[in-house]
Structure formats: C-alpha cells, structure tokens
C-alpha cells in the first residue's frame, strides 16, 4: 500500500502543521487508510504504524507526537516535555520546541492554534459540547499563560462535518438557544422538526468573539468525502461497526 500521506495545510499558519486525511495509512477494512485512533477497534500495531508515519511527516520520533484522552470537555493540558501520559482533556498547548500536539476527530472540529511571535502553539478537539462549554476559549487562555497574545494567535479549523450533513433535533436547538438566543442563527430548517447545525460557523464565531487575530475553516466536510475523511455520522448511517479517526498536528 502507498505510504504517501495527504496533508491539508493553511497558509495562515506559518509553523509546521497538518490536517491529515485518511490517505497513505496501513489500516484496512472499514478503517482503510491512516486511522490514528487508539480508541478504535483497529489493530493496535497498525494504528502505531500510522501514528509513526504522521510523526515522521512532522519531522519527529513517534514518542514526540502527543495527544490526550478526549472526553468532550473544556479541559486543556499544558505540555512541557514528551511524556507518555495521556490525560483526560480535549486540548493541549506548549511553548516547547520539538513536540507535536495532536488531536483526533471524525466529524468534530480539529482546531490548530499558533502565536509564532511568542512561540506558543495549541490544538483542540471541539465538538458541539466542547465548543459550547468553552474549550476554544480555554485553549486561548492557556496559550496566554505561556506568553501568547490573543491578537497574535491564528486559529484554523480543519475538516469537520458541514451544516448540510449535521441534522439535529429540536432539543439540540433548545440547548444552544438557552445559552444565547442569538445562537439560533447557526441553525437552518431541515425536514420536519429537524434542523441543520453549522458547527464550523459556530466555532469561528466563538474564536472571533474571544479575540483571536485570525480564524478560518479549511472548508472540508468529513461526511461528504469518504475517500479522504473518516466520519462518525456517516459510519452510523451506514450501520458500520466502528470508524477511523483523523489526526491533526502542529509543532514548533
């Protein structure tokens, strides 16, 4: 199998980074491609091969590609060295060169942050729950603690589920509008009582409201491009047993 990885990047992020697609991995079957999710039922040794390929692409040993045990929280971990610990959290920040911060997703937003002036980076896993609870803002605050300035931070949202694929029920709408009635603008009418939620637009709103210097979305939808991306929702609709996880990473 070809080992050429497909890496989506943003010209707005001047540091080495990548939103990796599923292409170029060693996994097979429903996981075919670059599945980097140790929490999946894929073969552990194959996931390790995939992660090693990502680390190599980032110019680092596999031990320096760090992640967290994601739990849809607003918790952020500050990393100072390449330890083996994978704490329960949904974002990481560091000012230490030679470490790649990584996030796994399969429809949720992978968000990479950089303040190149201060030499501080961050990575966040932001699904709807984490976004509402403030994981993006918490990442910015943790970066500030390391010396970053919000006005100098660029945040890029990678491939995630787009509005036309994200159908939700009225109770989901109620959860958002209870937080802020203005959040109704992130919903469009679907079929019957169903609504379509714009996750990346909501993420951009939260980032810009928090004062980042620049925020953008790469405009890739995980649901509608099965050749390039894993999707939890697409897997659910197809009644497949499990799904792969995409990896996104950034390093100083």
- Per-residue pLDDT, 85: 73
Per the document, the length of the chain is 252
CA 31/CA 46 separation, integer angstroms: 10
Cα separation, 174 vs 178, in Å, equals: 6
Nearest to 95 by CA among 146, 59, 55, 137: 146
Which residues are within 8 A (CB) of 49 and not within 5 positions of it... i.e. 6 or more apart?
A: 25, 26
Domains by residue range for the chain, with CATH: 7-162+198-251 (3.60.140.10)
SS3 at position 216: strand
Q: CB-hemisphere CA count at 13 Å for 92? A: 28
Q: What is the structure's pLDDT at 83?
A: 79
pLDDT digits (tens), the chain, 252 positions: 346 999 999 999 999 999 999 999 999 999 999 999 999 999 999 999 999 999 999 999 999 999 999 999 999 999 999 876 789 999 999 999 999 999 999 999 999 999 999 999 999 999 999 999 999 999 999 999 999 999 999 999 999 999 999 999 999 999 999 999 999 999 999 999 999 999 999 999 999 999 999 999 999 999 999 999 999 999 999 999 999 999 999 999
Nearest C-alpha neighbor of 225 from the set 158, 161, 157: 161
b or e along 155-184 (b: 16 or more beta carbons within 10 Å of the residue's beta carbon)?
bbbbbbbbbebbebeeebbeebeeeeeebe
The answer to whether 157 touches 215, Cβ cutoff 8 Å, is yes
**Cα–Cα dist 155/60, whole Å:** 23
Output the pTM of the full model.
0.97
User: Distance (Å, rounded) from C-alpha 137 to C-alpha 54?
Assistant: 27
Query: Cα angle at 110 between 128 and 224, to 5 degrees?
Result: 80
End-to-end CA distance of the chain: 31
Buried b (16+ CB within 10 A) or exposed e, 197-216: bbbbebbbbbbeebebeebb
Name 124's bridge partners. 91, 111
């Amino acid at each position: 199998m070809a080992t050429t990885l497909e890496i989506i990047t943003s010209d707005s992020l001047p540091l080495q980074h990548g939103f990796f697609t599923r292409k170029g991995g060693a996994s097979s079957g429903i996981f075919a491609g670059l599945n980097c999710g140790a929490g999946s039922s894929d073969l552990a040794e194959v996931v390790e091969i995939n992660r090693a390929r990502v680390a190599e692409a980032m110019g680092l040993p596999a031990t320096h590609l760090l992640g967290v045990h994601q739990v849809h929280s607003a918790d952020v971990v500050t990393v100072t060295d390449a330890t083996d610990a994978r704490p329960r959290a949904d974002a990481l920040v560091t000012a230490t060169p030679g470490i790649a911060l990584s996030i796994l997703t399969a429809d949720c937003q992978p968000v990479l942050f950089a303040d190149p002036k201060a030499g501080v980076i961050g990575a966040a896993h932001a699904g709807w729950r984490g976004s509402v609870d403030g994981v993006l803002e918490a990442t910015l605050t943790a970066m500030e603690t390391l010396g970053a300035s919000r006005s100098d931070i660029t945040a890029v949202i990678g491939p995630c589920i787009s509005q036309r694929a994200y159908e939700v029920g009225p109770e989901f709408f109620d959860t958002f509008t209870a937080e802020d009635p203005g959040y109704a603008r992130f919903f469009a009418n679907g079929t019957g009582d169903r609504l379509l939620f714009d996750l990346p637009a909501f993420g951009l709103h939260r980032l810009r409201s928090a004062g980042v210097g620049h925020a953008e979305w790469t405009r890739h939808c995980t649901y509608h491009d099965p050749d390039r991306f894993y999707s939890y929702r697409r897997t659910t609709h197809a009644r497949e047993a499990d799904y792969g996880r995409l990896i996104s990473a950034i390093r100083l």
